[in-house]
Amino acid sequence: MANQTPTPGYSGTQTPTSNGGVHPTAARADVPIVVESERTKYTEEFITSTFDYHGQTVTNEGGVYKVRPTKKTFEFRTERKVPRTGLMMVGLGGNNGTTLTATILANRHNITWRTKSGIQTPNYIGSVLRASTLRLGVDPINGSDVHVPLSSVLPTVHPNDLVIGGWDISSAPLDKAMARAEVLPWDLQRQLAPLMAPIHPLPSIYYPDFIAANQEERADNLIPGEDKQAHLEKLRADIRQFKEANGLDKVIVFWTANTERFSEVLEGINDTAENLLEAIKCSHEEVSPSTLFAVASILEGCPFINGAPQNTFVPGCIKLAEQHKSFIGGDDLKSGQTKVKSVLTEFLVNAGIKPLSIASYNHLGNNDGRNLSAEKQFRSKEISKSSVVDDMVAANHLLFRPKAEGEAKGEHPNHLVVIKYMPAVGDSKRAIDEYYSEICMGGRSVINIFNECEDSLLASPLILDLSILAELLTRIEYREVGKEQTEFAPLYTVLSLLSYMLKAPLVKPGTDVVNALGRQRNALELFMKACLGLEGQGDLLLESRVW
């Protein structure tokens, strides 16, 4: 492998091909699940299910809540064949990109390495799909719950089989970029270096106004010129070439590059699909690199996931995706501190305890932290982190006054987010949270949490989950029974089912954002079960409560 000619944008795997790309190893099959029900049908091509979606509408009539149960019946059709899939990361040579690539290669080749505690084997711990389970039902013999890996519920791509490629403003081959990141232990890097060295990132886009000035020294691998239309066409050509060279059925594009400043949303510039495309032709200054990558992906029919907090999906970008029925998802990976915050705030509010203030302090020393030391880039992160408690607070009007007419939001805890760049700690991020709450009879409660995490080792499994779930959702179609719609149709453009892994979930315009982690996880599980024609099994556990 080490003697291969370097191939820009492609990951080395076991079997080189004649076209300069590489074939991954064959997929491993999870234990299959077969639903024996008249509501679930299997063919060689599809799993087709019938699912009753129960809900309630609530109106306040004369001071009385009138609740009316509703039911809609859907058919879901899931394509069973798992396609040959590529993952193109923007920021391939960064901490997340190199760590994820190294993780896949280590698992694919079963590379073990020595630590001070002994021999470590590769794994995908931290991946919801590969390292967590779903309660499928009850064993009729002993009455115990049966849990299955989330990845086995529906046919999904195995991480080992992803073909990796992408772009970076730094030209460093991935063995050098991996060493620069200082995330993985030396003995593992030593063994991975021959596999990582052939991987060279494709040239990327660099608009200095969108990222911190301290990133300029890394920017030696750029698509030339300032013509944004030409940049868009080059990105589209890169995607097509990557797909063709590796014999891929599908490509997922993932932004894991630097956090950008927010783009200004301007009428006539990026507010409609047509205006956005025209703004690209005119090389308008408010068209960001991440929006260009998103537009390229949309036009090529590839799902695009934004793993950073900036507003990549300006209104015109969402409308373009709707027009092309392309899939998009974002924003900002929810890996450590924010995930804990969404759990703890939900606990406090559901327990009838009123958070008065939430103060979050972070310091880290990787390149992400260096970029965030610039004010405009930090502001993007601050916005994505600050909104994570909004839906939980709004759900309890007994504790928090609802918003009045003309207000953006009602009563709300004071919420402070601070991020500081401290080079000495490297990728090991430190996070300190204080939750200051009101309890019974005017009392006060303080909860302090200190959280230390290796940032890229938490983020990399999330990139896998988001990419693999996005691919799965491209193979699921639906139709509503009893409606004029007779043909199966794809899901809506914005993949809100990815919310569990994202700080600031993008949702369908006009629908509510859900940040509560339990609700996000439950929605994902229930949807996967619905695609098998299974009702959501809650925790009522009637069998243990009746004679």
Catalytic residues: 332, 381, 429, 503
- Cβ atoms of 9 and 238 within 8 Å: the answer is yes
**Residue 231: strand, helix, or coil:** helix
The single residue listed with the structure tokens 């629908």 is: 511
Cis status of the peptide bond prior to 145, with omega within 30 of 0: no
Strands 428-438 and 444-454 turn out to be: antiparallel
Determine the Cα–Cα distance for residues 132 and 254; give it in Å rounded to an integer: 23
Assess contact for 255 and 331: CB atoms under 8 A: no
Q: At residue 326, what are phi and psi to the nearest 5 degrees?
A: -95, 155
Q: Residue 406: left if φ>0, alpha if ψ -120 to 50, beta else—which one?
A: left
> CA dihedral in degrees (457, 210, 379, 270; nearest 10)?
-110
Sign of CA dihedral 88, 89, 94, 97: negative
| 437: exposed, middle or buried (Cβ count in 10 Å: 0-12, 13-18, 19+) | buried
**Whole-angstrom distance, CA of residue 123 vs CA of residue 121:** 7
Q: Which residues contact 112 (CB under 8 A, 6 or more apart)?
A: 119, 120, 121, 122
Q: State both tokens at 56.
A: 């309630």
Three-state DSSP state, 481 = coil
Distance CA 431, CA 452 (A): 6
Bridge partner residues of 114 (DSSP): 119
Single-letter amino acid, residue 272: T
541 φ/ψ sector (left φ>0, alpha ψ -120 to 50, else beta): left
Q: Which two tokens stand for residue 117?
A: 């505690």
User: Which amino acid type is present at position 515?
Assistant: N
Beta-carbon contacts of 160 under 8 Å, excluding residues fewer than 6 positions away, are 24, 25, 27, 28, 104, 107, 108
N-to-C CA span, the chain:
65
Burial class (CB in 10 A: 0-12, 13-18, 19+), 102: buried
Burial classification of residue 411, based on how many CB atoms lie within 10 Å of its CB (0-12 exposed, 13-18 middle, 19 or more buried): middle
